[in-house]
Amino acid sequence: MTAIDDRRAAGQRTLVRMMGLSVAAAVVTIVLKLAAAGITGSVGFLSDAMESGVNLVAALVGLWAVRLAVRPPDLGHHFGHGKAEYLSAAVEGALIFVAAGAILWTSVRRLIDPVPIEQPGLGLALSTGASLVNLAVGVALVRVGRRERSIALVADGRHLLTDVVTSVGVLVGIALVAVFGWDVLDPIVALLVGVNILYTGVGLVGRSVTGLLDAALPPEDAARVEALLDRYRAAGPVDFHALRTRESGRQRFVYVHLLVPDEWTVKRGHDLAEELTADVAEVLPGAWAFVHVEPIDDPRSYDHPMAPEDVAGGPGPEEPPGVTSGV
């Protein structure tokens, strides 16, 4: 196993552990928030507990997605299983819509018929404890998810942090009810919670759809690849074109045509392509590179939609974008 493979394996184990932590945090917060809702009779606490229920289901789906996404390519999935993480984010967004609908329905009913809150102090203490758990785990998930480039982990962490924000709103509302006796504030706060998590759900679904459509790498990642190709050009006598990139969960793919002198042997071109592949994996840890070698003076080498138009041959009109001629 190479050093790159070791890093990939270590990252995969970290993702699974973090998603397990998210599941445990969701269970703890559900228990605390349901206890707070049962003791006080607050619809605000109940709505908060329902969102934590979504957190639990989302964490379980995320754990499944992370475990699936780390599987290596096989006969049925030649490019791996990385898009499972986008599916996880989409499922989490859909679950948020369901929870928000239930919260809004319950809140409207309680707004029409307000109910006094009992023992608000104990309820506030339980909900505060749950929020602190979510805050600690959410920050850890986002930090590790960004480092490991896991959309599932980042999505779950952001959802937990959103839960913290809504919980703070609920706590403020219940505190105001306890101080001033304004029972109508409880369902109003719950309505605001429902609207807020709807907004979160839209963002999660949008990010997952973008990923499923094979979005290109972010500009900063593409710039690293371009800088690497420029170093090869400076060493000469080679050039590159038709650079394309895409993301699939944590997986990154780079496709490029390597133009070498016509008199080079197959082995010499192949050796340079292998060197470039390894260097791409260094500048973009874990990325997969696909290098297509072509003779630099053959006009047919430029018969590609993404080849520069000011060179011999120009872009080919018949080949659809994203398709590479040859082998």
Question: Range of 170's domain?
Answer: 3-212
The two three-digit tokens of residue 300, written as one number = 């047919």
Tell me the CATH number at 284: 3.30.70.1350
Domain check: are 67 and 197 in the same one? yes
Q: How many CB atoms lie within 10 A of CB 54?
A: 24
Please give the torsion angle defined by the CA atoms of residues 187, 189, 191 and 192, in that order, rounded to the nearest 10 degrees.
170
Q: What is the pLDDT of residue 252?
A: 81
Domain check: are 179 and 234 in the same one? no
Contacts 24+ apart (CB under 8 A), 32-38: 32/126, 32/127, 32/129, 32/130, 32/133, 33/126, 33/127, 33/130, 35/126, 36/122, 36/123, 36/124, 36/126, 36/127, 36/130, 37/123
Domain check: are 10 and 109 in the same one? yes
Domain check: are 70 and 162 in the same one? yes
The number of folded domains in the chain is 2
Q: What is the CA radius of gyration of the chain?
A: 26
Domain boundary among 187, 212, 237: 212
Reading the chain (327 residues) residue by residue, the pLDDT tens digits are 455 555 556 666 787 888 888 888 888 988 888 888 888 877 667 777 777 777 787 778 777 777 776 666 666 665 665 666 667 667 767 777 777 777 677 667 666 766 666 676 787 788 888 889 989 998 998 888 888 777 677 877 877 887 787 777 777 777 777 777 766 776 777 677 777 777 767 766 776 666 666 677 888 888 999 999 999 999 889 999 989 888 766 678 899 999 999 999 999 999 999 999 999 988 887 788 899 999 998 888 887 776 665 443 343 333 333 333 332
Domain check: are 44 and 93 in the same one? yes
Domain check: are 92 and 184 in the same one? yes
Q: What is the pLDDT of residue 276?
A: 94
Kindly report, residue by residue over 84-109, the tens digit of the pLDDT. Answer: 666 766 776 777 777 777 767 766 76
Domain check: are 157 and 270 in the same one? no
Q: Residue 241: what residue type?
A: H
Q: What is the pLDDT of residue 165?
A: 75
Whether 160 is covered by a domain: the verdict is yes
Q: How many CB atoms lie within 10 A of CB 221?
A: 18
Whether 286 is covered by a domain: the verdict is yes
Domain boundary among 178, 212, 246: 212
Q: What is the pLDDT of residue 216?
A: 77
Q: Residue 192: which residues within 8 A CB-CB, separation 6 or more?
A: 169
Tell me the CATH number at 203: 1.20.1510.10
Domain check: are 22 and 161 in the same one? yes
